[in-house]
Structure 1
Amino acid sequence: MATGWAGDGAVQDQIDATVKDAIERARSRLGTGPGRATCEECDAPIPEARRKAVPGVRLCVACQSALDKDEAGHAGYNRRGSKDSQLR
């Protein structure tokens, strides 16, 4: 049931679009090809098991963890535009 000017299924459409964007963003971050033997940032050796598990790996675990922590603050935006999200 839609309210106001929103059409039927508008809320689900927004949810689907948000999930689709998150999936595309995650897929775009996946590497391809052979991984590096040493980390791009600190030049530490990357274990063979990590290179097999993560195609196209460029960073060691420590540097990747630091990058992930930094990027967590830039996770995207709230499509709903609720008042609570605008106050943050």
Structure 2
Amino acid sequence: LIHRDCPDLLERIKGGVNKGIRQQRDAKQTELNEYKERNRELRSEVAELKAMLSKVQSQNATLIRKNMVLSGVSAKNSNVTQLLYSK
């Protein structure tokens, strides 16, 4: 009945409903884009931290090897005997 008698009123009603839905959709899309950007930044930060961790692990392994070599050399050339005490 309203479709036939008052098409302009029907359009105003439909337009108002669709406008609210459109605004909600646009707000959600904007929020989603913000989260995607933040996610991209965090993934980049994780990649950087993984690279730093890898570098530090490599340096740590090198220092451990050098320490073992130096400990072995000092043990061979030492006139000092280490005493072990047990309680």
Query: TM exceeds 0.5?
Result: no
Larger radius of gyration: 2
TM bucket normalised to smaller: 0.3 to 0.5
By relative contact order (CA 8 Å, sep 6+), the higher-ranking structure is: 1
TM-score normalized by the length of structure 1:
0.33
More helix by share: 2
TM-score normalized by the length of structure 2:
0.33
